[in-house]
Amino acid sequence: MEKVNQKGVSDRVALSLNEANLLMDRAFESQKSIAEMEQVKVDRIVEAMAEAGYRNAWRLADLAVEETGMGRVEDKTIKNQFATKNLYEYIRNMRTTGIIKEDKLRGVVEIATPMGVVVGLTPTTNPTSTVLFKAIIAMKSRNAIVLSPHPRAVKCSLEAARIMEEAAVSAGAPRGLINCMSNVSLEATNELLHHPKTSVVLATGGSNMVKAAYSSGNPAYGVGPGNVPVFIERTADIEDAVSKIMLSKTFDNGTVCASEEAIVTETIISQSVIQELENQGGYFVKGSDIAALTKTAVKENGALNPQIVGKSPKIIADLAGIDIPEGTKLLIVPLEGVGKDFPLSAEKLCPIIGLYIEKDWKDACFRCIELINYGGLGHSMVMHSKNEEVIMEFAIKKPVSRILVNTPSTHGAIGYTTGLAPSMTLGSGTIGGSITSDNVTPMHLINIRRLAYHTMGREPKADGRTRGLFFTKAEITEAVQGIMEQRNRQKAADYR
């Protein structure tokens, strides 16, 4: 039994609250020393951090799997590499200090300023890659960061943060910019969320945690769950589509929130889709096994059973007491509806996927909207098709921030196989309860100060340009007199 002090707080919670405040003070003071740092110095530090994270990608992945019991080392290694090398290649030439844009025509100059101290909440499903990603984008934007890891992923998250800080310091950064809680508690996380020195919150995880971030009173970017449907339309290359779905949904045992959760296809090609799924390692759960799998995967209150998250099909099948063929890569469950009466129609974060067969693309469109509304609003969906008209119909009507075409959803949404910004934090827009629909980058962690020159009365030249940013006293007087004369004429007309 935990000891409780005079204020009714246990020693464990008191320790974590104390650490939260110490790390926040450390970050706040350290950030002051980089607030005016030049771009070249910032970029040198960011490069060192990316290189260190990339070098340690496999070791951090191994630590994460060992501590959390989720996912696969080889896939978490790829995520760590993506969150360092791929991210760095995208942001290396991004200007985040000083003047970042100058519009001479409009007379507006944009100047980047850091936000201050970022509080980063990280999930148990992607503990090290999210730490690497958030530390790098915080540094690129000249912010300090305090990370609050998931309680079941503290050790690996701490090590990722340590690697980031040591690399930053070796490249000229002051100590104290990158901090990670070692004594985690709900109370301490709330302390960070509500702390007066917190400038912005980057929350990645479950719905309750994201809601807490948005209700903290501090600015926040929240990224909640995704219930991603994938539509295989009749013109699709079925073999290629299934191959990409298998790659995506089995990647790291389905722990990425952008992974496919339900396949939707048309009756006319359904048998070909089913056959191809079986050819590539999918196993269709049938009869009473569906009930057994459902009971194992979803609790009576409708919550996902954490014991199946990031686990292999074999482990999940054993927990459910069902037999599956050797080498099964994905458990497929035919479903007739969406909602509480069909628990497996929600996000599952493991190698279980639903299958819906609809009459045509219009019915498939409605089914996808149903699935998105059931826990995936604003996040993502994917479709495999060669019909541009159908693709555009889906793009216009789907309440999501990303519609991915002919690509693995897991990899496409984060910007690995698409032109989207490389990110481990995917905004779901206001429809999904987020302030942004973007893939979050360093640009989301800067404030922009705008220098705006007087432009009223400037006459454009023939080439569309104006005569300059500055005006003589006579020009300003003439412009003001013209406005006054126009007002007087209007008043006279109104009087008549």
CA separation (Å) from 87 to 81, 133, 333, 425, 452?
Answer: 9, 8, 36, 12, 33
Could you give the domains of the chain? Answer: 11-223+441-448 (3.40.605.10), 228-419 (3.40.309.10)
pLDDT in tens, the chain (496 residues): 556 555 557 889 999 999 999 999 999 999 999 999 999 999 999 999 999 999 999 999 999 999 999 999 999 999 999 999 999 999 999 999 999 999 988 899 999 999 999 999 999 999 999 999 999 999 999 999 999 999 999 999 999 999 999 999 999 999 999 999 999 999 999 999 999 999 999 998 766 777 788 888 899 998 777 899 999 999 999 999 999 999 999 999 999 999 999 999 999 999 999 999 999 999 999 999 999 999 999 998 889 999 999 999 999 999 999 999 999 999 999 999 999 999 999 999 999 999 999 999 999 999 999 999 999 999 999 999 999 999 999 999 899 999 999 999 999 999 999 999 999 999 999 888 888 999 999 999 999 999 999 887 655 555 555 555 455 566 666 766 776 677 677 666 665 5
Give, to the nearest 10 degrees, the angle between helix 39-55 and helix 73-81.
170
* Residue of 180, 257, 350, 368 marked catalytic: 257
For the chain, counts of helices (H) and of strands (E)? 17, 15
Residue 139's alpha-carbon distances to 32, 115, 120, 425, in angstroms, are 13, 11, 13, 16
Task: Please confirm, yes or no, whether 257 is among the known catalytic residues.
Answer: yes
> What angle do the packed helices 288-297 and 313-320 form, to 10 degrees?
100
User: Whole-structure pTM over 0.85, yes or no?
Assistant: yes
